Structure 1
Protein backbone atom coordinates (compact mmCIF):
# COMPACT_ATOMS: atom_id res chain seq x y z
CA UNK A 1 0.00 0.00 0.00
CA UNK A 2 2.75 2.47 0.96
CA UNK A 3 4.41 1.94 -2.42
CA UNK A 4 1.53 3.91 -3.93
CA UNK A 5 2.37 7.65 -3.87
CA UNK A 6 -1.32 8.59 -3.60
CA UNK A 7 -1.74 6.38 -0.54
CA UNK A 8 1.28 8.01 1.11
CA UNK A 9 -0.03 11.48 0.20
CA UNK A 10 -3.47 10.69 1.64
CA UNK A 11 -2.01 9.39 4.90
CA UNK A 12 0.26 12.45 5.12
CA UNK A 13 -2.69 14.82 4.63
CA UNK A 14 -4.74 13.04 7.29
CA UNK A 15 -1.76 13.12 9.67
CA UNK A 16 -1.37 16.88 9.30
CA UNK A 17 -5.13 17.32 9.80
CA UNK A 18 -4.94 15.35 13.06
CA UNK A 19 -2.17 17.64 14.30
CA UNK A 20 -3.71 20.87 13.06
CA UNK A 21 -7.34 20.39 14.16
CA UNK A 22 -7.12 20.74 17.97
CA UNK A 23 -4.35 23.31 17.69
CA UNK A 24 -6.32 25.24 15.08
CA UNK A 25 -9.26 25.42 17.47
CA UNK A 26 -7.12 27.22 20.04
CA UNK A 27 -5.68 29.46 17.32
CA UNK A 28 -9.26 30.50 16.42
CA UNK A 29 -10.37 30.93 20.04
CA UNK A 30 -7.30 33.01 20.94
CA UNK A 31 -7.34 35.01 17.68
CA UNK A 32 -3.79 33.84 16.93
CA UNK A 33 -4.15 33.49 13.16
CA UNK A 34 -1.28 35.85 12.36
CA UNK A 35 0.86 34.12 15.00
CA UNK A 36 0.57 30.86 13.08
CA UNK A 37 1.36 32.67 9.84
CA UNK A 38 4.55 34.18 11.30
CA UNK A 39 5.74 30.82 12.60
CA UNK A 40 5.05 29.17 9.24
CA UNK A 41 6.95 31.84 7.29
CA UNK A 42 9.94 31.39 9.58
CA UNK A 43 10.10 27.73 8.58
CA UNK A 44 11.62 28.72 5.20
CA UNK A 45 14.64 30.11 7.05
CA UNK A 46 14.79 26.79 8.89
CA UNK A 47 14.84 24.93 5.57
CA UNK A 48 17.78 27.06 4.38
CA UNK A 49 19.73 26.46 7.60
CA UNK A 50 19.01 22.73 7.48
CA UNK A 51 20.38 22.51 3.92
CA UNK A 52 23.44 24.59 4.84
CA UNK A 53 24.20 22.47 7.92
CA UNK A 54 23.21 19.21 6.18
CA UNK A 55 20.71 18.26 8.85
CA UNK A 56 17.09 17.12 8.68
CA UNK A 57 14.67 19.58 7.08
CA UNK A 58 12.24 18.75 9.86
CA UNK A 59 14.82 19.61 12.53
CA UNK A 60 15.74 22.91 10.89
CA UNK A 61 12.14 23.99 10.35
CA UNK A 62 11.20 22.96 13.90
CA UNK A 63 14.12 24.87 15.48
CA UNK A 64 13.47 28.12 13.62
CA UNK A 65 9.67 27.91 13.95
CA UNK A 66 10.07 27.39 17.70
CA UNK A 67 12.58 30.26 17.92
CA UNK A 68 10.17 32.54 16.07
CA UNK A 69 7.25 31.59 18.30
CA UNK A 70 9.31 32.14 21.48
CA UNK A 71 10.60 35.48 20.15
CA UNK A 72 7.07 36.71 19.50
CA UNK A 73 6.00 35.64 22.99
CA UNK A 74 9.01 37.38 24.57
CA UNK A 75 8.60 40.65 22.64
CA UNK A 76 4.83 40.97 23.00
CA UNK A 77 3.73 43.88 25.17
CA UNK A 78 7.00 45.81 24.81
CA UNK A 79 5.83 48.88 22.95
CA UNK A 80 4.58 47.27 19.73
CA UNK A 81 1.10 46.11 18.89
CA UNK A 82 0.92 42.37 18.27
CA UNK A 83 -0.14 42.68 14.63
CA UNK A 84 2.77 45.03 13.88
CA UNK A 85 5.27 42.76 15.60
CA UNK A 86 3.98 39.66 13.84
CA UNK A 87 3.94 41.43 10.47
CA UNK A 88 7.56 42.53 10.80
CA UNK A 89 8.83 39.16 12.02
CA UNK A 90 6.79 37.05 9.58
CA UNK A 91 7.82 38.84 6.42
CA UNK A 92 11.40 39.40 7.59
CA UNK A 93 11.87 35.70 8.36
CA UNK A 94 10.43 34.70 4.98
CA UNK A 95 12.66 37.22 3.16
CA UNK A 96 15.81 36.16 5.02
CA UNK A 97 14.97 32.52 4.35
CA UNK A 98 14.57 33.08 0.61
CA UNK A 99 17.80 35.10 0.46
CA UNK A 100 19.66 32.46 2.50
CA UNK A 101 18.58 29.73 0.09
CA UNK A 102 20.08 31.68 -2.84
CA UNK A 103 23.51 31.64 -1.14
CA UNK A 104 23.66 27.85 -0.75
CA UNK A 105 26.44 26.67 -3.11
CA UNK A 106 25.83 23.65 -5.30
CA UNK A 107 22.35 22.97 -3.92
CA UNK A 108 19.37 22.97 -6.22
CA UNK A 109 16.14 23.45 -4.32
CA UNK A 110 12.57 23.67 -5.54
CA UNK A 111 11.31 26.61 -3.50
CA UNK A 112 7.77 26.08 -4.74
CA UNK A 113 7.74 22.74 -2.93
CA UNK A 114 8.46 24.46 0.39
CA UNK A 115 6.22 27.47 -0.25
CA UNK A 116 3.15 25.54 -1.45
CA UNK A 117 3.98 21.96 -0.47
CA UNK A 118 4.76 18.79 -2.40
CA UNK A 119 2.54 16.20 -0.78
CA UNK A 120 2.82 13.82 -3.73
CA UNK A 121 6.56 13.47 -3.05
CA UNK A 122 6.08 12.33 0.57
CA UNK A 123 8.30 9.33 1.38
CA UNK A 124 7.88 6.62 4.00
CA UNK A 125 10.34 8.49 6.22
CA UNK A 126 8.35 11.72 5.80
CA UNK A 127 5.20 9.83 6.66
CA UNK A 128 6.75 8.53 9.88
CA UNK A 129 7.84 12.06 10.83
CA UNK A 130 4.40 13.52 10.06
CA UNK A 131 2.51 10.93 12.09
CA UNK A 132 5.08 11.05 14.90
CA UNK A 133 4.67 14.83 15.07
CA UNK A 134 0.88 14.54 14.89
CA UNK A 135 0.86 12.05 17.76
CA UNK A 136 3.12 14.32 19.82
CA UNK A 137 0.92 17.39 19.21
CA UNK A 138 -2.28 15.47 19.93
CA UNK A 139 -0.70 14.11 23.11
CA UNK A 140 0.44 17.55 24.29
CA UNK A 141 -2.93 19.17 23.61
CA UNK A 142 -4.82 16.26 25.17
CA UNK A 143 -2.59 16.32 28.26
CA UNK A 144 -3.08 20.06 28.84
CA UNK A 145 -6.60 20.35 27.37
CA UNK A 146 -8.41 21.47 30.52
CA UNK A 147 -5.68 23.93 31.54
CA UNK A 148 -5.37 25.30 28.01
CA UNK A 149 -9.12 25.80 27.78
CA UNK A 150 -9.29 27.56 31.14
CA UNK A 151 -6.37 29.86 30.24
CA UNK A 152 -8.01 30.62 26.89
CA UNK A 153 -11.40 31.47 28.39
CA UNK A 154 -10.25 33.62 31.31
CA UNK A 155 -6.70 34.29 32.53
CA UNK A 156 -7.95 35.45 35.95
CA UNK A 157 -9.87 32.21 36.38
CA UNK A 158 -6.74 30.31 35.34
CA UNK A 159 -4.66 32.07 38.01
CA UNK A 160 -7.33 31.35 40.61
CA UNK A 161 -7.23 27.67 39.61
CA UNK A 162 -3.46 27.53 40.00
CA UNK A 163 -2.82 27.51 36.24
CA UNK A 164 -0.02 29.61 34.74
CA UNK A 165 -1.29 31.08 31.44
CA UNK A 166 2.28 31.67 30.21
CA UNK A 167 3.08 27.98 30.65
CA UNK A 168 0.00 27.04 28.66
CA UNK A 169 1.02 29.56 26.00
CA UNK A 170 4.38 27.77 25.84
CA UNK A 171 2.61 24.44 25.27
CA UNK A 172 0.68 25.99 22.37
CA UNK A 173 3.88 27.55 21.02
CA UNK A 174 5.70 24.21 21.05
CA UNK A 175 2.72 22.45 19.45
CA UNK A 176 2.50 25.10 16.75
CA UNK A 177 6.21 24.77 15.93
CA UNK A 178 5.90 20.97 15.63
CA UNK A 179 2.82 21.28 13.41
CA UNK A 180 4.56 23.77 11.12
CA UNK A 181 7.60 21.52 10.84
CA UNK A 182 5.59 18.43 9.87
CA UNK A 183 3.17 20.31 7.59
CA UNK A 184 5.72 22.19 5.47
CA UNK A 185 6.22 19.13 3.24
CA UNK A 186 2.47 18.72 2.75
CA UNK A 187 1.03 22.20 2.18
CA UNK A 188 4.09 24.48 2.31
CA UNK A 189 4.91 27.51 4.42
CA UNK A 190 2.37 29.82 2.77
CA UNK A 191 -0.61 27.49 3.31
CA UNK A 192 0.08 26.04 6.76
CA UNK A 193 -1.83 28.81 8.53
CA UNK A 194 -4.82 28.15 6.26
CA UNK A 195 -4.85 24.45 7.19
CA UNK A 196 -4.74 25.43 10.86
CA UNK A 197 -7.49 28.03 10.72
CA UNK A 198 -9.97 27.08 7.99
CA UNK A 199 -11.08 23.61 9.24
CA UNK A 200 -11.43 24.95 12.79
CA UNK A 201 -13.42 27.95 11.58
CA UNK A 202 -15.61 25.65 9.47
CA UNK A 203 -16.24 23.41 12.48
CA UNK A 204 -17.26 26.24 14.79
CA UNK A 205 -20.91 26.61 13.64
CA UNK A 206 -21.45 22.85 13.93
CA UNK A 207 -19.99 22.32 17.40
CA UNK A 208 -21.69 22.66 20.76
CA UNK A 209 -18.63 21.95 22.92
CA UNK A 210 -14.90 22.75 22.59
CA UNK A 211 -14.12 19.04 22.33
CA UNK A 212 -16.74 18.67 19.62
CA UNK A 213 -15.21 21.55 17.66
CA UNK A 214 -11.76 19.93 17.75
CA UNK A 215 -13.16 16.58 16.58
CA UNK A 216 -15.25 18.14 13.81
CA UNK A 217 -12.27 20.23 12.71
CA UNK A 218 -10.19 17.05 12.48
CA UNK A 219 -12.88 15.41 10.35
CA UNK A 220 -13.13 18.44 8.06
CA UNK A 221 -9.34 18.64 7.76
CA UNK A 222 -8.99 14.95 6.95
CA UNK A 223 -11.90 15.09 4.51
CA UNK A 224 -10.37 18.15 2.84
CA UNK A 225 -7.08 16.29 2.43
CA UNK A 226 -8.73 13.29 0.80
CA UNK A 227 -11.09 15.33 -1.41
CA UNK A 228 -8.39 17.86 -2.29
CA UNK A 229 -5.98 15.15 -3.40
CA UNK A 230 -8.70 13.53 -5.50
CA UNK A 231 -9.54 16.87 -7.11
CA UNK A 232 -5.86 17.55 -7.79
CA UNK A 233 -5.52 14.12 -9.44
CA UNK A 234 -8.61 14.56 -11.62
CA UNK A 235 -8.17 18.25 -12.49
CA UNK A 236 -4.35 18.26 -12.59
CA UNK A 237 -4.12 21.09 -10.06
CA UNK A 238 -1.54 21.69 -7.27
CA UNK A 239 -2.26 19.31 -4.39
CA UNK A 240 -1.59 21.59 -1.41
CA UNK A 241 -3.70 24.52 -2.64
CA UNK A 242 -6.44 22.09 -3.71
CA UNK A 243 -6.67 20.77 -0.15
CA UNK A 244 -7.03 24.30 1.22
CA UNK A 245 -9.66 25.11 -1.44
CA UNK A 246 -11.80 22.16 -0.32
CA UNK A 247 -11.47 23.30 3.31
CA UNK A 248 -12.53 26.80 2.24
CA UNK A 249 -15.60 25.36 0.53
CA UNK A 250 -16.44 23.51 3.75
CA UNK A 251 -16.17 26.83 5.60
CA UNK A 252 -18.58 28.43 3.14
CA UNK A 253 -21.07 25.58 3.53
CA UNK A 254 -21.05 25.65 7.34
CA UNK A 255 -21.33 29.44 7.24
CA UNK A 256 -24.44 29.15 5.06
CA UNK A 257 -25.88 26.55 7.41
CA UNK A 258 -25.36 28.89 10.35
CA UNK A 259 -27.10 31.66 8.42
CA UNK A 260 -30.06 29.40 7.64
CA UNK A 261 -30.37 28.36 11.31
CA UNK A 262 -30.16 31.97 12.47
CA UNK A 263 -32.86 32.96 9.96
Structure 2
Protein backbone atom coordinates (compact mmCIF):
# COMPACT_ATOMS: atom_id res chain seq x y z
CA UNK A 1 0.00 0.00 0.00
CA UNK A 2 2.85 2.38 0.83
CA UNK A 3 4.21 1.90 -2.70
CA UNK A 4 0.99 3.17 -4.23
CA UNK A 5 1.71 6.59 -5.79
CA UNK A 6 -1.66 7.94 -4.63
CA UNK A 7 -0.90 7.03 -1.03
CA UNK A 8 2.48 8.77 -1.24
CA UNK A 9 0.80 11.83 -2.80
CA UNK A 10 -1.81 11.95 -0.03
CA UNK A 11 0.83 11.57 2.68
CA UNK A 12 2.86 14.37 1.09
CA UNK A 13 -0.15 16.69 1.05
CA UNK A 14 -1.15 15.82 4.60
CA UNK A 15 2.39 16.36 5.87
CA UNK A 16 2.60 19.72 4.14
CA UNK A 17 -0.75 20.75 5.67
CA UNK A 18 0.74 20.35 9.16
CA UNK A 19 3.03 23.27 8.39
CA UNK A 20 0.90 25.38 6.05
CA UNK A 21 -2.08 25.46 8.45
CA UNK A 22 -0.49 27.37 11.36
CA UNK A 23 2.04 29.21 9.18
CA UNK A 24 -0.68 30.28 6.75
CA UNK A 25 -2.64 31.66 9.69
CA UNK A 26 0.23 34.00 10.52
CA UNK A 27 0.52 34.94 6.84
CA UNK A 28 -3.16 35.93 6.86
CA UNK A 29 -2.98 37.75 10.21
CA UNK A 30 0.10 39.72 9.17
CA UNK A 31 -1.15 40.32 5.61
CA UNK A 32 1.98 38.71 4.18
CA UNK A 33 0.43 37.29 1.01
CA UNK A 34 2.90 39.19 -1.18
CA UNK A 35 5.70 37.89 1.00
CA UNK A 36 4.64 34.33 0.28
CA UNK A 37 4.57 35.10 -3.44
CA UNK A 38 8.08 36.56 -3.40
CA UNK A 39 9.54 33.59 -1.53
CA UNK A 40 7.74 30.97 -3.63
CA UNK A 41 8.66 32.62 -6.93
CA UNK A 42 12.30 32.64 -5.84
CA UNK A 43 12.06 28.85 -5.69
CA UNK A 44 12.47 28.66 -9.48
CA UNK A 45 15.81 30.43 -9.13
CA UNK A 46 16.67 27.77 -6.56
CA UNK A 47 15.79 25.06 -9.07
CA UNK A 48 18.18 26.68 -11.56
CA UNK A 49 20.91 26.81 -8.90
CA UNK A 50 20.42 23.13 -8.08
CA UNK A 51 20.53 22.07 -11.73
CA UNK A 52 23.67 24.15 -12.36
CA UNK A 53 25.58 22.81 -9.36
CA UNK A 54 24.22 19.24 -9.13
CA UNK A 55 22.71 19.98 -5.72
CA UNK A 56 19.44 18.35 -4.65
CA UNK A 57 16.59 20.52 -5.86
CA UNK A 58 15.17 20.81 -2.35
CA UNK A 59 18.48 22.15 -1.03
CA UNK A 60 18.91 24.63 -3.88
CA UNK A 61 15.37 25.87 -3.39
CA UNK A 62 15.89 26.19 0.36
CA UNK A 63 19.09 28.26 -0.10
CA UNK A 64 17.48 30.76 -2.47
CA UNK A 65 14.19 30.92 -0.53
CA UNK A 66 16.12 31.64 2.69
CA UNK A 67 18.13 34.35 0.93
CA UNK A 68 14.94 35.94 -0.38
CA UNK A 69 13.20 35.66 2.99
CA UNK A 70 16.08 37.26 4.90
CA UNK A 71 16.38 40.02 2.28
CA UNK A 72 12.70 40.87 2.51
CA UNK A 73 12.70 40.77 6.33
CA UNK A 74 15.71 43.11 6.40
CA UNK A 75 14.07 45.56 4.02
CA UNK A 76 10.85 45.46 6.05
CA UNK A 77 12.76 46.25 9.25
CA UNK A 78 14.30 49.27 7.50
CA UNK A 79 10.88 50.65 6.59
CA UNK A 80 10.78 49.97 2.85
CA UNK A 81 7.41 50.16 1.08
CA UNK A 82 6.85 46.43 1.04
CA UNK A 83 4.02 46.11 -1.49
CA UNK A 84 6.11 47.56 -4.33
CA UNK A 85 9.35 45.94 -3.14
CA UNK A 86 7.79 42.50 -2.88
CA UNK A 87 6.17 42.85 -6.30
CA UNK A 88 9.53 43.70 -7.86
CA UNK A 89 11.39 40.90 -6.03
CA UNK A 90 8.75 38.24 -6.72
CA UNK A 91 8.52 38.73 -10.46
CA UNK A 92 12.23 39.41 -10.87
CA UNK A 93 13.20 36.19 -9.08
CA UNK A 94 10.77 34.16 -11.19
CA UNK A 95 12.04 35.71 -14.42
CA UNK A 96 15.71 35.28 -13.48
CA UNK A 97 15.05 31.63 -12.61
CA UNK A 98 13.32 30.87 -15.90
CA UNK A 99 16.05 32.63 -17.91
CA UNK A 100 18.83 30.94 -15.89
CA UNK A 101 17.44 27.46 -16.62
CA UNK A 102 17.40 28.20 -20.35
CA UNK A 103 21.12 29.06 -20.24
CA UNK A 104 22.20 25.83 -18.54
CA UNK A 105 24.06 23.67 -21.08
CA UNK A 106 22.77 20.15 -21.53
CA UNK A 107 19.85 20.63 -19.12
CA UNK A 108 16.45 19.57 -20.35
CA UNK A 109 13.72 19.78 -17.75
CA UNK A 110 9.97 20.31 -17.75
CA UNK A 111 9.55 23.52 -15.79
CA UNK A 112 5.79 23.05 -15.57
CA UNK A 113 6.42 20.42 -12.89
CA UNK A 114 8.21 23.04 -10.78
CA UNK A 115 5.74 25.81 -11.58
CA UNK A 116 2.55 23.82 -10.90
CA UNK A 117 3.80 20.82 -8.92
CA UNK A 118 3.91 17.09 -9.56
CA UNK A 119 2.58 15.54 -6.38
CA UNK A 120 1.83 12.24 -8.12
CA UNK A 121 5.57 11.78 -8.74
CA UNK A 122 6.54 12.10 -5.06
CA UNK A 123 9.05 9.40 -4.10
CA UNK A 124 9.78 7.90 -0.68
CA UNK A 125 12.82 10.17 -0.38
CA UNK A 126 10.67 13.21 -1.27
CA UNK A 127 8.12 12.11 1.29
CA UNK A 128 10.78 11.97 3.99
CA UNK A 129 12.03 15.44 3.02
CA UNK A 130 8.51 16.88 3.09
CA UNK A 131 7.61 15.42 6.48
CA UNK A 132 10.98 16.39 7.99
CA UNK A 133 10.65 19.98 6.78
CA UNK A 134 7.01 20.24 7.84
CA UNK A 135 7.82 18.77 11.25
CA UNK A 136 10.64 21.27 11.72
CA UNK A 137 8.38 24.19 10.86
CA UNK A 138 5.59 22.91 13.11
CA UNK A 139 7.99 22.46 16.03
CA UNK A 140 9.37 25.98 15.51
CA UNK A 141 5.90 27.51 15.45
CA UNK A 142 4.77 25.61 18.55
CA UNK A 143 7.94 26.70 20.38
CA UNK A 144 7.51 30.39 19.47
CA UNK A 145 3.71 30.44 19.29
CA UNK A 146 2.97 32.92 22.09
CA UNK A 147 5.82 35.24 21.13
CA UNK A 148 4.79 35.19 17.47
CA UNK A 149 1.16 35.79 18.38
CA UNK A 150 1.98 38.71 20.66
CA UNK A 151 4.20 40.32 18.01
CA UNK A 152 1.46 39.85 15.43
CA UNK A 153 -1.26 41.41 17.59
CA UNK A 154 0.69 44.43 18.82
CA UNK A 155 4.37 45.26 18.41
CA UNK A 156 4.29 47.76 21.27
CA UNK A 157 2.92 45.05 23.57
CA UNK A 158 5.66 42.73 22.33
CA UNK A 159 8.33 45.30 23.20
CA UNK A 160 6.76 45.79 26.64
CA UNK A 161 6.88 42.02 27.16
CA UNK A 162 10.59 41.91 26.37
CA UNK A 163 10.14 40.46 22.88
CA UNK A 164 11.85 41.54 19.68
CA UNK A 165 9.25 41.80 16.86
CA UNK A 166 11.98 41.85 14.20
CA UNK A 167 13.35 38.55 15.50
CA UNK A 168 9.89 37.00 15.49
CA UNK A 169 9.34 38.22 11.93
CA UNK A 170 12.65 36.61 10.94
CA UNK A 171 11.55 33.32 12.50
CA UNK A 172 8.37 33.45 10.45
CA UNK A 173 10.15 34.13 7.18
CA UNK A 174 12.65 31.32 7.81
CA UNK A 175 9.72 28.97 8.43
CA UNK A 176 8.12 30.23 5.23
CA UNK A 177 11.32 29.53 3.26
CA UNK A 178 11.44 25.95 4.57
CA UNK A 179 7.79 25.40 3.61
CA UNK A 180 8.46 26.71 0.11
CA UNK A 181 11.38 24.30 -0.26
CA UNK A 182 9.32 21.28 0.74
CA UNK A 183 6.12 22.35 -1.06
CA UNK A 184 7.53 23.01 -4.53
CA UNK A 185 7.32 19.30 -5.40
CA UNK A 186 3.68 19.15 -4.28
CA UNK A 187 1.98 22.25 -5.70
CA UNK A 188 4.76 24.12 -7.50
CA UNK A 189 6.15 27.62 -7.15
CA UNK A 190 3.08 29.41 -8.52
CA UNK A 191 0.59 27.71 -6.18
CA UNK A 192 2.49 27.55 -2.88
CA UNK A 193 1.15 30.90 -1.68
CA UNK A 194 -2.39 29.75 -2.49
CA UNK A 195 -2.00 26.65 -0.33
CA UNK A 196 -0.74 28.87 2.51
CA UNK A 197 -3.43 31.52 2.28
CA UNK A 198 -6.67 29.84 1.15
CA UNK A 199 -7.04 27.20 3.94
CA UNK A 200 -6.18 29.81 6.58
CA UNK A 201 -8.65 32.30 5.09
CA UNK A 202 -11.33 29.61 5.04
CA UNK A 203 -10.60 28.69 8.65
CA UNK A 204 -10.87 32.29 9.85
CA UNK A 205 -14.60 32.39 9.15
CA UNK A 206 -15.17 29.24 11.24
CA UNK A 207 -12.87 29.86 14.22
CA UNK A 208 -13.08 31.85 17.43
CA UNK A 209 -9.49 31.58 18.68
CA UNK A 210 -6.06 31.72 17.00
CA UNK A 211 -5.33 28.13 17.99
CA UNK A 212 -8.64 26.93 16.58
CA UNK A 213 -7.97 28.77 13.33
CA UNK A 214 -4.52 27.17 12.95
CA UNK A 215 -5.96 23.70 13.64
CA UNK A 216 -8.88 24.27 11.28
CA UNK A 217 -6.54 25.51 8.53
CA UNK A 218 -4.53 22.31 8.88
CA UNK A 219 -7.68 20.20 8.53
CA UNK A 220 -8.87 22.20 5.51
CA UNK A 221 -5.47 21.80 3.87
CA UNK A 222 -5.62 18.03 4.36
CA UNK A 223 -9.21 17.88 3.05
CA UNK A 224 -8.19 19.96 0.03
CA UNK A 225 -5.39 17.51 -0.71
CA UNK A 226 -7.74 14.53 -0.55
CA UNK A 227 -10.45 16.22 -2.65
CA UNK A 228 -7.95 17.53 -5.19
CA UNK A 229 -6.37 14.11 -5.65
CA UNK A 230 -9.80 12.57 -6.11
CA UNK A 231 -10.67 15.20 -8.72
CA UNK A 232 -7.36 14.59 -10.50
CA UNK A 233 -7.98 10.84 -10.55
CA UNK A 234 -11.59 11.22 -11.65
CA UNK A 235 -11.23 13.91 -14.34
CA UNK A 236 -7.52 13.56 -15.22
CA UNK A 237 -6.80 17.16 -14.18
CA UNK A 238 -3.41 18.47 -12.93
CA UNK A 239 -3.06 17.42 -9.30
CA UNK A 240 -1.52 20.62 -7.87
CA UNK A 241 -4.09 23.03 -9.35
CA UNK A 242 -6.85 20.57 -8.44
CA UNK A 243 -5.79 20.74 -4.78
CA UNK A 244 -5.89 24.54 -4.84
CA UNK A 245 -9.26 24.44 -6.62
CA UNK A 246 -10.66 22.23 -3.86
CA UNK A 247 -9.29 24.64 -1.24
CA UNK A 248 -10.97 27.56 -3.03
CA UNK A 249 -14.32 25.75 -3.04
CA UNK A 250 -13.99 25.04 0.68
CA UNK A 251 -13.19 28.73 1.21
CA UNK A 252 -16.36 29.75 -0.64
CA UNK A 253 -18.41 27.35 1.49
CA UNK A 254 -16.82 28.54 4.75
CA UNK A 255 -17.38 32.18 3.79
CA UNK A 256 -21.06 31.48 3.20
CA UNK A 257 -21.36 29.61 6.50
CA UNK A 258 -19.53 32.37 8.34
CA UNK A 259 -21.84 35.02 6.86
CA UNK A 260 -24.89 33.00 7.80
CA UNK A 261 -23.64 32.50 11.37
CA UNK A 262 -22.99 36.23 11.82
CA UNK A 263 -26.57 36.94 10.75
TM-score range, shorter chain: over 0.9
- 2:154 is equivalent to residue 154 of structure 1: yes
**Within 1, Cα distance between the matches of 2:195 and 2:79?**
31
How far apart are 1:76 and its partner, in Å?
2.6
SS at match of 1:108: coil
**Within 1, Cα distance between the matches of 2:76 and 2:157?**
22
State how 1:6-25 maps to structure 2 within 5 Å.
6-25=6-25
Match of 1:165 in 2: 165
How far apart are 1:79 and its partner, in Å?
6.9
Q: Mark the CA change 1:150 to 1:80 in structure 2 (over 3 Å): closer, same or farther.
A: closer
Match of 2:36 in 1: 36
How far apart are 1:262 and its partner, in Å?
2.3
How far apart are 1:72 and its partner, in Å?
1.0
**Within 2, Cα distance between the matches of 1:77 and 1:178?**
21
- 2:245 is equivalent to residue 245 of structure 1: yes
**Within 2, Cα distance between the matches of 1:89 and 1:46?**
14
After TM superposition, the score normalised by the length of structure 1 is: 0.98
**Within 2, Cα distance between the matches of 1:128 and 1:258?**
37
1:161-198 per-position Cα deviation (integer Å, ceiling 9, x unaligned): 11111111111011000000000000000000000000
Match of 1:214 in 2: 214
- 2:174 is equivalent to residue 174 of structure 1: yes
Unaligned 5+ runs, structure 2: none
How many pairs are equivalent? 263
* Contact kept? 2:38, 2:68, Cα under 8 Å: yes
Match of 2:119 in 1: 119
RMSD: 0.9
Match of 2:94 in 1: 94
SS at match of 2:189: coil
Match of 2:53 in 1: 53
How far apart are 1:77 and its partner, in Å?
6.1
1:53-97 per-position Cα deviation (integer Å, ceiling 9, x unaligned): 001111110110110111111223657421100000000000000
Match of 2:107 in 1: 107
